[in-house]
Structure 1
Protein backbone atom coordinates (compact mmCIF):
# COMPACT_ATOMS: atom_id res chain seq x y z
CA UNK A 1 0.00 0.00 0.00
CA UNK A 2 1.53 3.30 -1.13
CA UNK A 3 0.95 6.40 0.97
CA UNK A 4 1.49 9.94 -0.27
CA UNK A 5 2.10 13.33 1.30
CA UNK A 6 1.89 16.70 -0.47
CA UNK A 7 4.21 19.40 0.82
CA UNK A 8 6.46 22.29 -0.14
CA UNK A 9 9.98 21.95 -1.46
CA UNK A 10 11.23 23.72 1.67
CA UNK A 11 9.53 21.20 3.96
CA UNK A 12 10.92 18.33 1.90
CA UNK A 13 14.41 19.73 2.53
CA UNK A 14 13.75 19.62 6.28
CA UNK A 15 12.37 16.07 6.07
CA UNK A 16 15.40 14.82 4.15
CA UNK A 17 17.94 16.63 6.32
CA UNK A 18 16.38 15.47 9.60
CA UNK A 19 15.29 12.04 8.32
CA UNK A 20 12.14 12.47 10.36
CA UNK A 21 8.37 12.70 9.89
CA UNK A 22 6.64 15.43 11.89
CA UNK A 23 3.45 14.85 13.88
CA UNK A 24 1.53 18.08 14.51
CA UNK A 25 -0.90 18.74 17.32
CA UNK A 26 -4.50 18.05 16.35
CA UNK A 27 -5.51 21.56 17.42
CA UNK A 28 -3.30 22.98 14.65
CA UNK A 29 -4.73 21.10 11.64
CA UNK A 30 -6.70 22.89 8.92
CA UNK A 31 -10.04 21.29 9.83
CA UNK A 32 -11.12 23.38 12.82
CA UNK A 33 -13.85 20.92 13.76
CA UNK A 34 -11.31 18.23 14.61
CA UNK A 35 -10.59 19.85 17.98
CA UNK A 36 -14.24 20.61 18.71
CA UNK A 37 -15.62 17.07 18.77
CA UNK A 38 -14.80 16.17 22.35
CA UNK A 39 -16.97 16.26 25.45
CA UNK A 40 -16.21 17.33 29.01
CA UNK A 41 -12.59 16.22 28.78
CA UNK A 42 -10.86 17.53 25.69
CA UNK A 43 -8.28 15.08 24.39
CA UNK A 44 -7.42 17.06 21.25
CA UNK A 45 -4.39 19.01 22.69
CA UNK A 46 -2.79 15.67 23.59
CA UNK A 47 -3.11 14.13 20.11
CA UNK A 48 -0.40 14.53 17.46
CA UNK A 49 -1.01 13.36 13.90
CA UNK A 50 0.78 12.77 10.63
CA UNK A 51 -1.50 13.06 7.59
CA UNK A 52 -1.20 11.18 4.28
CA UNK A 53 -3.42 10.22 1.37
CA UNK A 54 -4.09 6.83 -0.20
CA UNK A 55 -5.13 8.34 -3.53
CA UNK A 56 -2.70 7.11 -6.17
CA UNK A 57 -4.13 9.54 -8.70
CA UNK A 58 -2.73 13.03 -8.29
CA UNK A 59 -5.14 15.43 -6.62
CA UNK A 60 -5.46 19.01 -7.89
CA UNK A 61 -7.01 20.17 -4.56
CA UNK A 62 -4.15 18.64 -2.56
CA UNK A 63 -1.54 20.14 -4.89
CA UNK A 64 -3.23 23.50 -4.47
CA UNK A 65 -3.71 23.36 -0.68
CA UNK A 66 -0.37 22.03 0.51
CA UNK A 67 2.41 22.66 -2.01
CA UNK A 68 2.70 26.43 -2.39
CA UNK A 69 0.96 27.12 -5.70
CA UNK A 70 1.55 23.59 -7.03
CA UNK A 71 5.33 24.11 -7.06
CA UNK A 72 6.03 21.66 -4.26
CA UNK A 73 6.26 17.89 -4.23
CA UNK A 74 4.34 14.72 -3.44
CA UNK A 75 6.40 12.18 -1.52
CA UNK A 76 5.45 8.51 -1.73
CA UNK A 77 6.42 5.58 0.47
CA UNK A 78 5.66 1.92 0.01
CA UNK A 79 3.85 1.37 3.31
CA UNK A 80 4.73 2.92 6.65
CA UNK A 81 7.79 5.18 6.46
CA UNK A 82 8.77 4.79 10.13
CA UNK A 83 11.89 3.11 11.46
CA UNK A 84 10.75 0.01 13.36
CA UNK A 85 13.39 -1.56 15.59
CA UNK A 86 13.72 -3.18 18.99
CA UNK A 87 13.57 -0.46 21.68
CA UNK A 88 16.75 -0.60 23.74
CA UNK A 89 16.34 -1.06 27.50
CA UNK A 90 19.85 0.36 27.91
CA UNK A 91 18.49 3.74 26.77
CA UNK A 92 16.92 4.10 30.22
CA UNK A 93 19.12 2.18 32.68
CA UNK A 94 17.28 3.78 35.62
CA UNK A 95 14.18 1.73 34.77
CA UNK A 96 13.80 -2.01 35.21
CA UNK A 97 12.02 -2.88 31.97
CA UNK A 98 11.51 -6.34 30.52
CA UNK A 99 10.63 -6.63 26.85
CA UNK A 100 9.30 -9.24 24.51
CA UNK A 101 12.32 -10.04 22.34
CA UNK A 102 10.13 -9.86 19.22
CA UNK A 103 8.83 -6.38 20.04
CA UNK A 104 9.48 -3.71 17.39
CA UNK A 105 8.69 -0.04 17.84
CA UNK A 106 8.70 3.08 15.61
CA UNK A 107 10.46 4.96 18.41
CA UNK A 108 13.00 4.35 21.13
CA UNK A 109 12.29 4.50 24.86
CA UNK A 110 14.17 7.78 25.01
CA UNK A 111 11.82 9.20 22.40
CA UNK A 112 8.76 7.88 24.24
CA UNK A 113 9.97 9.18 27.60
CA UNK A 114 11.17 12.61 26.61
CA UNK A 115 11.91 15.43 29.09
CA UNK A 116 9.14 17.35 27.28
CA UNK A 117 6.43 14.66 27.06
CA UNK A 118 5.50 11.05 27.62
CA UNK A 119 4.02 9.19 24.64
CA UNK A 120 1.57 6.41 25.42
CA UNK A 121 2.86 3.31 23.58
CA UNK A 122 -0.45 2.54 21.88
CA UNK A 123 1.44 1.75 18.67
CA UNK A 124 2.80 -1.37 20.39
CA UNK A 125 -0.67 -2.90 20.60
CA UNK A 126 -2.11 -5.41 18.13
CA UNK A 127 -4.02 -2.63 16.41
CA UNK A 128 -2.38 -1.10 13.37
CA UNK A 129 -0.60 2.20 13.94
CA UNK A 130 -2.09 4.01 10.96
CA UNK A 131 -5.78 4.17 10.03
CA UNK A 132 -7.99 5.40 7.24
CA UNK A 133 -10.04 8.47 8.02
CA UNK A 134 -13.78 7.75 8.06
CA UNK A 135 -15.92 10.45 6.46
CA UNK A 136 -19.32 10.98 8.06
CA UNK A 137 -22.29 13.33 7.65
CA UNK A 138 -21.77 15.03 11.02
CA UNK A 139 -18.75 14.79 13.35
CA UNK A 140 -20.25 16.97 16.08
CA UNK A 141 -19.53 15.39 19.46
CA UNK A 142 -18.34 12.14 17.93
CA UNK A 143 -15.62 11.76 20.60
CA UNK A 144 -17.75 13.01 23.47
CA UNK A 145 -17.25 9.82 25.50
CA UNK A 146 -13.65 9.06 24.55
CA UNK A 147 -12.42 9.95 28.07
CA UNK A 148 -14.08 9.24 31.41
CA UNK A 149 -12.67 10.45 34.74
CA UNK A 150 -14.14 9.37 38.06
CA UNK A 151 -13.07 11.09 41.28
CA UNK A 152 -13.55 9.08 44.48
CA UNK A 153 -14.49 10.55 47.87
CA UNK A 154 -10.87 10.27 48.99
CA UNK A 155 -9.78 12.46 46.10
CA UNK A 156 -8.31 9.62 44.07
CA UNK A 157 -9.15 9.81 40.38
CA UNK A 158 -9.49 7.01 37.86
CA UNK A 159 -9.46 7.49 34.10
CA UNK A 160 -10.57 5.27 31.27
CA UNK A 161 -10.15 6.01 27.59
CA UNK A 162 -12.43 3.49 25.87
CA UNK A 163 -12.32 5.33 22.56
CA UNK A 164 -8.64 6.31 22.54
CA UNK A 165 -7.85 4.01 19.62
CA UNK A 166 -10.50 5.60 17.43
CA UNK A 167 -10.06 9.32 18.00
CA UNK A 168 -8.87 11.67 15.27
CA UNK A 169 -10.04 9.38 12.47
CA UNK A 170 -13.42 10.95 11.63
CA UNK A 171 -14.04 13.98 9.44
CA UNK A 172 -17.02 15.52 7.72
CA UNK A 173 -17.70 14.36 4.16
CA UNK A 174 -16.68 17.74 2.74
CA UNK A 175 -13.08 16.53 3.29
CA UNK A 176 -13.64 13.22 1.52
CA UNK A 177 -11.58 14.30 -1.48
CA UNK A 178 -8.45 13.91 0.67
CA UNK A 179 -8.79 10.10 0.98
CA UNK A 180 -6.76 10.55 4.12
CA UNK A 181 -4.71 8.00 5.99
CA UNK A 182 -3.17 9.13 9.25
CA UNK A 183 -0.99 8.13 12.17
CA UNK A 184 -1.71 9.38 15.68
CA UNK A 185 0.24 9.67 18.93
CA UNK A 186 -1.15 10.54 22.36
CA UNK A 187 1.27 12.44 24.60
CA UNK A 188 1.15 13.92 28.10
CA UNK A 189 3.52 16.09 30.15
CA UNK A 190 6.30 14.02 31.79
CA UNK A 191 6.44 13.17 35.52
CA UNK A 192 7.85 16.10 37.48
CA UNK A 193 10.70 14.03 38.89
CA UNK A 194 11.73 12.44 35.62
CA UNK A 195 11.61 8.74 34.85
CA UNK A 196 12.63 6.21 37.50
CA UNK A 197 11.27 3.07 39.12
CA UNK A 198 10.16 5.17 42.07
CA UNK A 199 7.93 7.57 40.13
CA UNK A 200 6.99 5.58 37.02
CA UNK A 201 3.57 5.04 38.58
CA UNK A 202 3.07 8.83 38.51
CA UNK A 203 2.65 8.75 34.73
CA UNK A 204 -0.96 7.65 35.07
CA UNK A 205 -1.67 10.39 37.62
CA UNK A 206 0.00 12.98 35.40
CA UNK A 207 -2.15 11.92 32.44
CA UNK A 208 -5.34 12.15 34.50
CA UNK A 209 -4.47 15.55 35.94
CA UNK A 210 -3.36 16.86 32.56
CA UNK A 211 -6.68 16.02 30.91
CA UNK A 212 -8.73 17.09 33.93
CA UNK A 213 -7.03 20.50 34.12
CA UNK A 214 -6.31 20.88 30.40
CA UNK A 215 -2.53 20.98 30.90
CA UNK A 216 -1.11 19.97 27.53
CA UNK A 217 2.53 19.15 26.61
CA UNK A 218 4.56 22.25 25.79
CA UNK A 219 5.61 21.07 22.33
CA UNK A 220 3.46 21.61 19.22
CA UNK A 221 5.00 18.71 17.31
CA UNK A 222 6.76 15.37 17.73
CA UNK A 223 9.19 13.88 15.18
CA UNK A 224 9.61 10.19 14.34
CA UNK A 225 12.53 8.63 12.48
CA UNK A 226 12.15 7.54 8.87
CA UNK A 227 13.30 4.03 8.02
CA UNK A 228 16.63 4.45 6.15
CA UNK A 229 15.63 1.86 3.54
CA UNK A 230 12.28 3.57 2.95
CA UNK A 231 14.03 6.92 2.63
CA UNK A 232 16.37 5.55 -0.02
CA UNK A 233 13.52 4.08 -2.05
CA UNK A 234 10.97 6.87 -1.79
CA UNK A 235 9.37 8.45 -4.84
CA UNK A 236 9.19 12.23 -5.17
CA UNK A 237 6.81 13.78 -7.69
CA UNK A 238 7.53 17.37 -8.68
CA UNK A 239 4.53 19.71 -8.69
CA UNK A 240 2.69 20.48 -11.96
CA UNK A 241 3.68 24.17 -11.90
CA UNK A 242 7.25 23.65 -10.68
CA UNK A 243 9.93 25.67 -12.43
CA UNK A 244 13.24 24.47 -13.82
CA UNK A 245 14.90 26.05 -10.77
CA UNK A 246 12.64 23.94 -8.51
CA UNK A 247 13.75 20.84 -10.41
CA UNK A 248 17.42 21.76 -9.91
CA UNK A 249 16.87 22.22 -6.17
CA UNK A 250 15.02 18.90 -5.87
CA UNK A 251 17.73 17.00 -7.72
CA UNK A 252 20.39 18.56 -5.48
CA UNK A 253 18.48 17.52 -2.34
CA UNK A 254 17.99 13.97 -3.59
CA UNK A 255 21.63 13.68 -4.64
CA UNK A 256 22.73 14.66 -1.14
CA UNK A 257 20.25 12.81 1.08
CA UNK A 258 18.70 9.90 -0.85
CA UNK A 259 20.47 9.34 -4.19
CA UNK A 260 18.46 6.21 -4.99
CA UNK A 261 15.10 7.93 -4.67
CA UNK A 262 12.91 8.11 -7.75
CA UNK A 263 12.08 11.59 -9.09
CA UNK A 264 9.01 11.96 -11.31
CA UNK A 265 7.32 14.81 -13.10
CA UNK A 266 3.66 15.38 -12.35
CA UNK A 267 1.13 13.79 -14.70
CA UNK A 268 -0.55 17.19 -14.66
CA UNK A 269 2.51 19.03 -15.97
CA UNK A 270 1.54 21.22 -18.92
CA UNK A 271 -2.19 20.69 -18.24
CA UNK A 272 -2.73 23.46 -15.67
CA UNK A 273 -2.33 27.16 -16.39
Structure 2
Protein backbone atom coordinates (compact mmCIF):
# COMPACT_ATOMS: atom_id res chain seq x y z
CA UNK A 1 0.00 0.00 0.00
CA UNK A 2 1.31 3.44 -0.93
CA UNK A 3 1.98 5.56 2.14
CA UNK A 4 2.38 9.26 2.70
CA UNK A 5 4.58 10.56 5.51
CA UNK A 6 4.54 13.17 8.25
CA UNK A 7 7.70 14.19 10.11
CA UNK A 8 7.19 15.26 13.71
CA UNK A 9 8.45 14.87 17.28
CA UNK A 10 7.74 12.01 19.67
CA UNK A 11 5.33 14.08 21.76
CA UNK A 12 3.16 14.74 18.70
CA UNK A 13 3.24 11.05 17.82
CA UNK A 14 1.95 10.31 21.34
CA UNK A 15 -0.92 12.79 20.90
CA UNK A 16 -1.90 11.33 17.53
CA UNK A 17 -1.91 7.75 18.85
CA UNK A 18 -3.60 8.48 22.19
CA UNK A 19 -6.30 10.79 20.83
CA UNK A 20 -6.61 9.04 17.44
CA UNK A 21 -6.79 12.41 15.72
CA UNK A 22 -4.73 14.56 13.37
CA UNK A 23 -4.26 18.17 14.37
CA UNK A 24 -4.78 20.72 11.60
CA UNK A 25 -2.78 23.97 11.82
CA UNK A 26 -3.92 27.40 10.68
CA UNK A 27 -2.36 28.44 7.40
CA UNK A 28 -1.09 31.72 8.85
CA UNK A 29 0.93 29.73 11.42
CA UNK A 30 2.87 27.62 8.90
CA UNK A 31 6.54 28.12 8.04
CA UNK A 32 6.00 29.48 4.52
CA UNK A 33 5.04 33.12 5.15
CA UNK A 34 4.27 33.60 1.46
CA UNK A 35 1.21 31.38 1.76
CA UNK A 36 -0.82 34.15 3.37
CA UNK A 37 -0.12 36.28 0.30
CA UNK A 38 -1.26 33.46 -1.98
CA UNK A 39 -4.77 33.18 -0.53
CA UNK A 40 -7.44 34.96 -2.58
CA UNK A 41 -8.02 37.33 0.34
CA UNK A 42 -5.30 37.44 2.95
CA UNK A 43 -7.52 37.34 6.03
CA UNK A 44 -8.93 33.99 4.85
CA UNK A 45 -5.64 32.36 5.86
CA UNK A 46 -6.92 32.27 9.45
CA UNK A 47 -9.89 30.16 8.30
CA UNK A 48 -7.77 27.58 6.46
CA UNK A 49 -6.54 24.61 8.50
CA UNK A 50 -3.93 22.27 7.06
CA UNK A 51 -2.41 18.88 7.82
CA UNK A 52 0.80 18.50 5.80
CA UNK A 53 2.31 15.23 4.55
CA UNK A 54 4.87 14.18 1.96
CA UNK A 55 4.48 11.70 -0.89
CA UNK A 56 8.23 11.03 -0.94
CA UNK A 57 8.91 7.33 -0.42
CA UNK A 58 12.56 7.79 0.52
CA UNK A 59 13.49 9.62 3.69
CA UNK A 60 14.35 13.29 3.35
CA UNK A 61 17.25 14.72 5.32
CA UNK A 62 15.77 18.19 4.92
CA UNK A 63 12.38 17.07 6.27
CA UNK A 64 13.99 15.36 9.25
CA UNK A 65 15.94 18.49 10.06
CA UNK A 66 13.07 20.95 9.57
CA UNK A 67 10.13 19.16 11.18
CA UNK A 68 11.24 16.31 13.43
CA UNK A 69 14.77 17.08 14.51
CA UNK A 70 16.83 13.95 13.99
CA UNK A 71 15.44 12.60 17.27
CA UNK A 72 11.81 12.63 16.09
CA UNK A 73 9.76 10.24 13.97
CA UNK A 74 8.36 9.83 10.48
CA UNK A 75 4.75 8.62 10.50
CA UNK A 76 3.50 6.62 7.52
CA UNK A 77 -0.22 6.25 6.76
CA UNK A 78 -2.27 5.58 3.63
CA UNK A 79 -3.94 8.49 1.90
CA UNK A 80 -7.27 9.29 3.51
CA UNK A 81 -6.65 7.65 6.90
CA UNK A 82 -9.61 9.40 8.49
CA UNK A 83 -12.65 7.99 10.21
CA UNK A 84 -15.73 7.59 8.00
CA UNK A 85 -19.19 8.80 8.94
CA UNK A 86 -22.40 8.42 6.99
CA UNK A 87 -24.06 11.81 6.87
CA UNK A 88 -27.71 11.63 7.84
CA UNK A 89 -30.53 13.99 7.00
CA UNK A 90 -31.32 16.65 9.57
CA UNK A 91 -34.81 18.08 9.11
CA UNK A 92 -34.30 20.89 11.60
CA UNK A 93 -31.28 22.04 9.57
CA UNK A 94 -33.04 21.60 6.24
CA UNK A 95 -30.18 19.27 5.37
CA UNK A 96 -31.35 16.39 3.22
CA UNK A 97 -29.04 13.73 1.84
CA UNK A 98 -29.94 11.51 -1.09
CA UNK A 99 -28.09 8.24 -1.01
CA UNK A 100 -25.11 7.45 1.17
CA UNK A 101 -22.54 10.22 1.60
CA UNK A 102 -19.38 9.38 3.52
CA UNK A 103 -17.52 12.13 5.35
CA UNK A 104 -14.47 12.23 7.66
CA UNK A 105 -16.68 14.17 10.08
CA UNK A 106 -20.22 13.66 11.37
CA UNK A 107 -22.64 16.48 10.58
CA UNK A 108 -22.44 17.73 14.18
CA UNK A 109 -18.74 18.43 13.62
CA UNK A 110 -19.40 20.28 10.37
CA UNK A 111 -22.10 22.63 11.71
CA UNK A 112 -22.20 23.52 15.38
CA UNK A 113 -22.18 26.42 17.84
CA UNK A 114 -18.41 26.94 17.55
CA UNK A 115 -17.68 26.62 13.84
CA UNK A 116 -19.00 26.04 10.34
CA UNK A 117 -16.93 24.05 7.86
CA UNK A 118 -17.45 25.59 4.44
CA UNK A 119 -15.73 23.00 2.26
CA UNK A 120 -17.84 20.08 3.46
CA UNK A 121 -15.39 17.20 2.98
CA UNK A 122 -17.58 14.77 1.00
CA UNK A 123 -15.09 14.11 -1.79
CA UNK A 124 -11.82 12.43 -0.88
CA UNK A 125 -10.02 13.59 -4.01
CA UNK A 126 -10.76 17.22 -3.12
CA UNK A 127 -10.30 17.01 0.63
CA UNK A 128 -6.77 15.61 0.17
CA UNK A 129 -4.68 17.19 -2.58
CA UNK A 130 -1.10 17.32 -3.80
CA UNK A 131 0.40 20.79 -3.56
CA UNK A 132 1.17 22.46 -6.89
CA UNK A 133 4.51 24.26 -7.27
CA UNK A 134 5.19 27.24 -9.52
CA UNK A 135 8.00 29.72 -10.09
CA UNK A 136 5.39 32.46 -9.81
CA UNK A 137 2.56 30.93 -7.73
CA UNK A 138 0.70 34.25 -7.46
CA UNK A 139 -0.10 33.99 -11.16
CA UNK A 140 -2.08 30.81 -10.50
CA UNK A 141 -4.46 32.21 -7.88
CA UNK A 142 -7.89 32.68 -9.38
CA UNK A 143 -9.53 35.94 -8.26
CA UNK A 144 -12.67 36.02 -6.15
CA UNK A 145 -15.73 36.96 -8.19
CA UNK A 146 -19.10 38.37 -7.18
CA UNK A 147 -22.47 37.52 -8.67
CA UNK A 148 -25.19 40.02 -9.56
CA UNK A 149 -26.51 39.88 -5.97
CA UNK A 150 -23.13 40.58 -4.43
CA UNK A 151 -22.48 36.99 -3.40
CA UNK A 152 -18.94 35.61 -3.38
CA UNK A 153 -17.97 33.11 -6.06
CA UNK A 154 -14.79 31.08 -5.71
CA UNK A 155 -13.55 27.50 -5.58
CA UNK A 156 -12.86 26.43 -1.99
CA UNK A 157 -10.51 23.75 -3.23
CA UNK A 158 -8.20 26.24 -4.97
CA UNK A 159 -7.08 27.59 -1.62
CA UNK A 160 -3.84 26.59 0.12
CA UNK A 161 -2.63 24.26 -2.62
CA UNK A 162 -0.29 26.58 -4.56
CA UNK A 163 3.28 27.19 -3.42
CA UNK A 164 6.60 28.49 -4.69
CA UNK A 165 8.78 25.95 -6.50
CA UNK A 166 11.46 26.52 -3.83
CA UNK A 167 9.40 24.11 -1.67
CA UNK A 168 9.08 21.41 -4.32
CA UNK A 169 11.58 19.14 -2.55
CA UNK A 170 8.85 18.41 0.01
CA UNK A 171 6.39 16.89 -2.50
CA UNK A 172 3.65 17.92 -0.12
CA UNK A 173 0.20 16.37 0.15
CA UNK A 174 -2.37 18.32 2.14
CA UNK A 175 -5.71 17.92 3.82
CA UNK A 176 -7.55 21.23 4.17
CA UNK A 177 -10.55 22.44 6.14
CA UNK A 178 -12.07 25.91 5.59
CA UNK A 179 -13.52 26.77 9.01
CA UNK A 180 -15.44 29.94 9.89
CA UNK A 181 -16.40 30.68 13.52
CA UNK A 182 -20.06 30.16 14.35
CA UNK A 183 -22.21 31.14 17.34
CA UNK A 184 -25.28 29.66 19.13
CA UNK A 185 -27.67 32.26 17.72
CA UNK A 186 -26.85 31.42 14.11
CA UNK A 187 -27.29 27.68 14.61
CA UNK A 188 -30.47 28.10 16.67
CA UNK A 189 -32.03 30.28 13.96
CA UNK A 190 -31.30 27.62 11.36
CA UNK A 191 -32.76 24.85 13.53
CA UNK A 192 -35.82 26.89 14.47
CA UNK A 193 -36.81 27.98 10.95
CA UNK A 194 -35.21 25.37 8.70
CA UNK A 195 -33.91 28.31 6.66
CA UNK A 196 -30.12 28.20 6.10
CA UNK A 197 -29.96 31.92 5.25
CA UNK A 198 -28.55 32.89 8.70
CA UNK A 199 -25.65 30.52 8.08
CA UNK A 200 -25.01 31.97 4.62
CA UNK A 201 -25.20 35.53 5.95
CA UNK A 202 -22.90 34.77 8.87
CA UNK A 203 -20.35 33.10 6.60
CA UNK A 204 -20.54 35.94 4.09
CA UNK A 205 -19.76 38.51 6.77
CA UNK A 206 -16.61 36.64 7.78
CA UNK A 207 -15.45 36.27 4.20
CA UNK A 208 -16.10 39.90 3.34
CA UNK A 209 -14.91 41.54 6.56
CA UNK A 210 -11.64 41.04 8.39
CA UNK A 211 -13.07 39.34 11.46
CA UNK A 212 -10.56 37.57 13.68
CA UNK A 213 -11.04 33.87 14.33
CA UNK A 214 -10.65 32.48 17.87
CA UNK A 215 -10.08 28.99 16.46
CA UNK A 216 -6.38 28.13 16.58
CA UNK A 217 -6.42 24.45 15.55
CA UNK A 218 -8.76 21.65 14.50
CA UNK A 219 -8.54 17.92 15.35
CA UNK A 220 -9.93 15.44 12.83
CA UNK A 221 -10.59 11.82 13.92
CA UNK A 222 -8.60 8.98 12.37
CA UNK A 223 -9.98 5.60 11.35
CA UNK A 224 -8.68 2.05 11.48
CA UNK A 225 -5.70 3.01 9.30
CA UNK A 226 -4.01 4.22 12.47
CA UNK A 227 -3.82 0.63 13.72
CA UNK A 228 -1.48 -0.09 10.79
CA UNK A 229 0.72 2.99 11.16
CA UNK A 230 4.38 2.70 10.17
CA UNK A 231 6.75 4.70 12.36
CA UNK A 232 10.34 5.42 11.35
CA UNK A 233 12.58 6.20 14.31
CA UNK A 234 14.73 9.31 13.92
CA UNK A 235 18.44 8.73 13.19
CA UNK A 236 19.68 10.15 16.51
CA UNK A 237 16.98 8.76 18.81
CA UNK A 238 18.37 7.39 22.06
CA UNK A 239 17.58 4.02 23.56
CA UNK A 240 15.10 5.77 25.86
CA UNK A 241 13.42 7.39 22.83
CA UNK A 242 13.16 4.05 21.06
CA UNK A 243 11.60 2.41 24.13
CA UNK A 244 9.04 5.23 24.37
CA UNK A 245 8.10 4.89 20.68
CA UNK A 246 7.80 1.12 20.96
CA UNK A 247 5.57 1.44 24.02
CA UNK A 248 3.29 3.96 22.29
CA UNK A 249 2.89 1.86 19.14
CA UNK A 250 2.32 -1.31 21.15
CA UNK A 251 -0.27 0.30 23.45
CA UNK A 252 -2.31 2.30 20.94
CA UNK A 253 -2.20 0.26 17.71
CA UNK A 254 -2.93 -3.35 16.84
CA UNK A 255 -0.62 -3.82 13.87
CA UNK A 256 1.69 -0.81 13.98
CA UNK A 257 5.22 -1.24 12.62
CA UNK A 258 8.48 0.36 13.70
CA UNK A 259 11.69 0.69 11.70
CA UNK A 260 14.98 2.51 12.07
CA UNK A 261 15.91 5.43 9.83
CA UNK A 262 18.21 4.75 6.88
CA UNK A 263 20.23 7.73 8.15
CA UNK A 264 20.98 6.14 11.53
CA UNK A 265 24.69 6.50 12.23
CA UNK A 266 25.19 8.99 9.38
CA UNK A 267 24.14 12.29 10.94
CA UNK A 268 25.53 14.18 13.93
CA UNK A 269 23.41 14.77 17.00
Q: Could you state the TM-score of these two structures normalised by the residue count of structure 2? A: 0.90
Q: Aligned pair 1:269/2:261, yes or no?
A: no
**Per-residue deviation at 1:41?**
6.3
Partner of 1:242: 237
Of 137, 150, 163, the residue aligned with 1:171 is 163
How many residues end up aligned between the 2 structures?
Answer: 263
Within 5 Å, give how 1:25-174 maps onto structure 2.
25-39=26-40, 42-67=43-68, 69-89=69-89, 94-125=92-123, 127-140=125-138, 142-143=140-141, 145=143, 147-149=144-146, 157-161=150-154, 163-174=155-166
**Per-residue deviation at 1:250?**
0.6
**Per-residue deviation at 1:263?**
0.7
Partner of 2:215: 219
Of 196, 202, 208, the residue aligned with 1:206 is 202
Distance 1:125 1:259 in 2: 28
Distance 1:43 1:10 in 2: 30
The change in CA–CA distance for 1:39 and 1:223 in structure 2 (over 3 A counts) is: closer
Q: C-alpha offsets along residues 91-136 of structure 1, whole Å, 9 cap, x if unaligned?
A: x674343223321000011111132210024422485321111110
**Contact 2:181-2:215 within 8 A present in 1 as well:** no
Distance 2:106 2:248 in 1: 27
**Per-residue deviation at 1:256?**
1.5
**Contact 2:114-2:184 within 8 A present in 1 as well:** no
**Contact 1:38-1:144 within 8 A present in 2 as well:** no
**Contact 2:39-2:159 within 8 A present in 1 as well:** no
**Per-residue deviation at 1:142?**
4.0
Q: C-alpha offsets along residues 15-37 of structure 1, whole Å, 9 cap, x if unaligned?
A: 11111011111111100000012
**Contact 1:189-1:216 within 8 A present in 2 as well:** no
Instruction: Give the gaps of 5 or more residues in structure 1.
Output: none
RMSD of aligned C-alpha atoms? Answer: 2.1
Report the 3-state secondary structure (helix = DSSP H, G, I; strand = E; otherwise coil) of the residue aligned with 1:52.
strand
Distance 1:191 1:115 in 2: 5
